Amino acid sequence: MYDSFAIARLIDLWLAEDVGHGDLTAQTMIEPDERGRFAMNAREPLTVAGIEVAAAVFCRYEPRLDVAVAVRDGDAVASGAVLLTVEGPARGLLTAERTALNIVQHLSAIATETARWVALIAHTKARLIDTRKTTPGLRMLEKHAVTCGGGLNHRLGLDNGVMIKDNHIAVCGGITAAVARARRQLPTLTKIEVECDRLDQVDEALAAGADVIMLDNMSLPDMRAAVARVGGRVPLEASGGIRFDTIKAIAETGVDYISTSKITQGARPIDIGLDAA
């Protein structure tokens, strides 16, 4: 989910960056009254994300364009599927083309990659979640793309919850002291998560009243031991060094969540084109 007001501001920035002082190609070759009709097509199987944003790009630059969206975010489509059609003044349509394609390609790549990872752990209770390692300025949209692929969002920002990491623990003098400091000033319904890289830290975090415990770069045997020690009293998140070839075994340890930046930072480009229709 994303806010349309915030998206409008982003679209203005994207278009200003690409158009500059004017589209020399379109303005010198295309007459103002010429019209065009084009279809945005998937050129490979993919999970859709950002299609409404792409439509908004066209309409923002040229309000007279008629855009018909044919799919929804989260849809898995085959190669050749029509994602949207756009018809109207050709000059504005062609000027906005690349910006619209860029955003839907980028977000659909994240959604498609997320869906690949989610499928690997579907037989377990573990859920895949993202991280704050996102492209500056695009976090809201990239996290939306993760949900389109079947993943969940971790914190949207630093103001969404307390994450006590090793450096916080070092400054405070220990997990117990760190949790106590956070709890004194924290809003009642806000959760505290503690990062642990050893089993004794898991015990301390649990005793200190952590709401969620992160198992950071732990071995599979230690993850299984942590699951047994916690016994379902708080959710456990596995994080650090998660790979496509290891996530299945990690999920099978019994953890509740697995977080990785690979789904936002490592998604390969998706091929989507705009073709005359």
Q: Which residues are catalytic?
A: 98, 133, 165, 195, 216
Retrieve residue 187's tokens: 């809003």
Dist. CA 196–CA 162, nearest whole Å: 14
110 closest CA partner among 40, 65, 53, 26: 53
Tell me the helices (H) and strands (E) count for the chain, helix number first. Answer: 11, 12
Q: Please compute, for residue 271, the number of CA atoms within 13 A of its CA located in the half-sphere on the CB side.
A: 7
For residues 45 and 77, the answer to whether their CB atoms sit within 8 Å is yes
Judged by DSSP in three states, 92 sits in helix
